[in-house]
Amino acid sequence: MNTAVIADTMNKDFVLAVEGLTVSFDGFKAVNDLSFYVDENEIRVIIGPNGAGKTTVLDLICGRTRATTGSIRFKERELTKMKEHEIVRAGVGRKFQNPSIYEDLTVFENLEISYPKGRSVPGALTFRRDRAVKERVQEVAETIFLADQLDQRAEYLSHGQKQWLEIGMLLIQDPELLMLDEPVAGMSVSERKKTAELLNTIIKNRSVIVIEHDMKFVEDIAHKVTVLHQGKILSEGSMAKVQADPKVIEVYLGH
Amino acid sequence: MLKSDRTFFLRPQDMIGIAILAILLVVVLPLTLDNFRLQFVGKYLTYAFVALGLVLCWGYAGILSLGQGVFFGLGGYCMAMFLKLESSSVEATKIQTTPGIPDFMDWNQITALPLMWQPFNSLTLTIIAVILVPALFAFIVGFAMFKRRVGGVYFAIITQALAAIMTILIIGQQGYTGGINGITDLRTLNGWDIRTDSAKTILYFVCVALLIACILIAYFVKSSKLGRILVAMRDKEDRVRFSGYDVANFKVFVFCLAASLSAIGGAMFTLQVGFMSPSFVGIVPSIEMVIYAAVGGRLSILGAIYGTLLVNWAKTSFSESFPELWLFGLGGLFIAVVLIFPNGLAGLWQTYIAPRLGPLFGGASARRASPPAATPPAAPSSGTAAPAAAE
């Protein structure tokens, strides 16, 4: 079976191919010889108990943490050797677990900073807020339900709105691979529903990796689920298959 | 449409603020102060350039530098070297062993003008050096540190160490720098005697004009997308990095800009005061300069100018009557700013006074985008005008 998987992977153009990825912090292997592949337009959900290494995997892909060994290829480019901003410019967007927005700036300005233009020092000095920028910001603001709050300072938004704003900041970058770390954590039921709706609109034409604990939410959106445990893949496949896997049941319920 | 939607980089309330400051410095103070006091204000204003740089670097970008005196000094020394060479003509120095070189070099058995002094025979090169030498130095320091992600308190400590190193270097290399005495006995600028009262008055106005120009540059940077990126970086550096920006480059830029602004102040200091010495380079002046910005309001471009004027005015009047108490006063002031009004005078102005003057200042009180920066003129200005009444 293993050889079949490898043969299979050789023939396909994956958006993201993670192979033999290992990172150790002072001898502790947070991620251990991890391999997985993400298809074009696929929604992959990573689940696993606390400390399984889920966030570390995202950190490794976006360059925040450097891999000890292994490779991460994104559209045939090796990400492990690139700097964070180069990875972003290559088309990888990352949402953090806690809403990471600029509280002192308005919603408009938050989105504008993420607009993929004028990213160098001279570019930022001469950046003009032209029609294209305004229209794009307006469009994204409507998608994330914040069109009426464009002039609001971001610190006055609710927790859920802050999460949406950060998703919007990623959206405006138009990444080919979008990584979301617990996008519905701490949200009310109605916000959660709206977020699922939002994710379903924004995943078109891109691949998405989501870390999430909320199983109902995972079931709603996942194409494929990867279960991590102690830095290794415990199980992978459809939601139904993963849920029926005795190893997964043991890890989740055995604790 | 959007409130944040503006085409010109100055908002109406900024223009009013700058106009009030300009009137104060160009009309009110020269008419009310005697020459001697006006020269003091001119000297204070040279520190305001440093405070201005600190607003951008510390207030907006969150990079606290405790070594801005280094850049003030570099600018000042560049100018002093030019003036010194001009006053060290062969006839003026014919009693020396080697005529035509600065006196302190002769005293230190140096027999030819060192290579690093050569460019300062030219005024054009000197003016370029005033702006570029500190920027280059800031670039090297900033590049080395920000690319390695050294920041926060570590950066502050390293800049403070730089201030100490620079002082030691200047004092140690007496033959090249004039040592602890600094570079003194400066007389003319391209043949124009800078020691007369009328020259000092002219230099005062040049200084004011340059300061206003630098204020405009600061406003331009602040209102550009780069200014907003600085604020964003201060708040969530990682988010900026993962939005595709090379964060270190922006920090290096703002650090270099602050260095150049400080250096212009330093050069104007040399011209107005007539000498430059290591006592303006070290740790103590560097920290004092941070206090100027803090008292005025580190988020406020104009506030920092008023802060500089006020603290210096207080320093002068205090140390005239109670010299030994001044440092305690300064320390107390700093503690008060940190504990009671963290956004300085500008913050007080904004919270208590601006809302009452709302309509007058084009809605400055209305909630606006970027940081609590919309700035305050009149409150502190009445304070600065006070010495006039007191004299």
Report the CATH number that the domain containing residue A12 is assigned in CATH: 3.40.50.300
R_g of chain B computed on alpha carbons? 21
Whether B27 maps to a domain, the answer reads yes
Of A84, A102, A108, the CB nearest to B232: A102
Which residues between 195 and 254 in chain B have a beta carbon less than 8 angstroms from any beta carbon of chain A?
Answer: 221, 224-226, 228-229, 231-232, 234-236, 238-247, 249-250, 253
| B385 vs A42: which has the higher pLDDT | A42
Nearest chain B residue to A148 by CA distance is B2
Nearest chain A residue to B252 by CA distance is A121
Q: Would you call A83 an interface residue with chain B, using a CB distance cutoff of 8 Å?
A: yes
Alpha helices in chain B (DSSP H): 12-23, 29-32, 35-54, 68-87, 103-107, 123-146, 152-172, 174-177, 197-223, 225-235, 237-241, 247-273, 283-296, 301-321, 326-339, 344-348, 354-357, 378-390
Does an H or E element contain A206, and which?
none
The neighbouring-strand residues paired with A229 are A232
Whether B340 maps to a domain, the answer reads yes
Q: What domain range is B134 assigned to?
A: 12-385
Q: What is the pLDDT of residue B31?
A: 95
Count: domains in chain B:
1
Q: Would you call A116 an interface residue with chain B, using a CB distance cutoff of 8 Å?
A: yes
In whole angstroms, give the CA distance from residue B208 to residue B303.
16
Of A102, A109, A151, the CB nearest to B236: A102
Q: Secondary structure of chain A: what % helix, strand, coil (to 5)?
A: 45, 25, 30
Shortest distance, CA A32 to any CA of chain B (angstroms): 25
Whether B305 maps to a domain, the answer reads yes
Tokens of A198: 């939002």
Q: Would you call A252 an interface residue with chain B, using a CB distance cutoff of 8 Å?
A: no
Alpha helices in B1-34 (DSSP H): 12-23, 29-32
Whether B2 maps to a domain, the answer reads no
Distance of CA B127 to the CA centre of its chain: 17
Shortest distance, CA B62 to any CA of chain A (angstroms): 13
Query: Phi and psi of B222, rounded to 5°?
Result: -60, -40
Arithmetic mean of pLDDT over chain B: 89
Beta-carbon separation of B228 and A83 below 8 A: no
Whether B319 maps to a domain, the answer reads yes
Mean pLDDT of the region B47-71: 97
What pLDDT digit, counting tens, does each position of B331-358 carry? 888 898 889 888 999 999 888 888 887 6
For residue A136, the chain B residues in CB contact (below 8 A) are none
Q: Of A228, A205, A255, A241, which Cα lies nearest the Cα of A39?
A: A205
Positions in chain A whose pLDDT score sits under 70: 1-12, 253-255
Mean pLDDT of the region B151-155: 93
Tokens of A229: 């445990």
Whether A113 maps to a domain, the answer reads no
Distances (CA, A) of A142 to A139, A187, A243, B3: 5, 20, 36, 18
Whether B1 maps to a domain, the answer reads no
For residue A116, the chain B residues in CB contact (below 8 A) are 244
Q: What is the pLDDT of residue B356?
A: 82
pLDDT band at B318 (very low <50, low <70, confident <90, very high): confident
For residue A126, the chain B residues in CB contact (below 8 A) are 224
Q: What is the ipTM of this complex?
A: 0.89
pLDDT band at B9 (very low <50, low <70, confident <90, very high): confident
Count: domains in chain A:
1
In whole angstroms, give the CA distance from residue A130 to residue B276.
48
What pLDDT digit, counting tens, does each position of B130-139 carry? 999 999 999 9
Shortest distance, CA A102 to any CA of chain B (angstroms): 5
Shortest distance, CA B359 to any CA of chain A (angstroms): 20
Q: What is the pLDDT of residue B378?
A: 38
Whether A107 maps to a domain, the answer reads no
Beta-carbon separation of B249 and A121 below 8 A: yes
Lowest mean pLDDT among A8-12, B167-171, B233-237: A8-12
pLDDT of residue B359 exceeding 80:
no
Q: What domain range is A216 assigned to?
A: 2-101+177-254
Q: What is the pLDDT of residue A10?
A: 53
Shortest distance, CA A245 to any CA of chain B (angstroms): 36
pLDDT of residue B247 exceeding 60:
yes
Of B4, B241, B244, the CB nearest to A106: B4
Q: What is the pLDDT of residue B136?
A: 98
Q: Would you call A138 an interface residue with chain B, using a CB distance cutoff of 8 Å?
A: no
Mean pLDDT of the region B83-96: 92
What pLDDT digit, counting tens, does each position of B275-292 carry? 999 999 999 999 999 999
Whether B300 maps to a domain, the answer reads yes
For residue A119, the chain B residues in CB contact (below 8 A) are 244-246
Shortest distance, CA A170 to any CA of chain B (angstroms): 8
In whole angstroms, give the CA distance from residue B104 to residue A211.
70
Q: In what order do the strands lie in the sheet with A28-38?
A: A28-38, A16-25, A69-74, A77-78
Whether A136 maps to a domain, the answer reads no
Q: What is the pTM of this model?
A: 0.89
Q: What is the pLDDT of residue B351?
A: 87
Which residues between 159 and 188 in chain A have a beta carbon less than 8 angstroms from any beta carbon of chain B?
Answer: 166, 169, 173
pLDDT of residue B295 exceeding 50:
yes
Of B238, B245, B370, the CB nearest to A104: B370
Q: What is the pLDDT of residue B2?
A: 54
Shortest distance, CA A46 to any CA of chain B (angstroms): 21
Coil/strand/helix, residue B178: coil
Coil/strand/helix, residue A65: coil
Whether A26 maps to a domain, the answer reads yes
* Residue position matching structure tokens 């405006």: A172
Beta-carbon separation of A116 and B244 below 8 A: yes
Mean pLDDT of the region B199-208: 96
Each residue of B128-164: b (16+ CB within 10 Å) or e? ebbbbbbbebbbebbbebbeeeebeeebbebbbebbe
Residue A113: CB atoms within 10 A of its CB come to 27
Q: What is the pLDDT of residue B375?
A: 39
Whether B391 maps to a domain, the answer reads no
Q: Which residue type sits at B142?
A: G
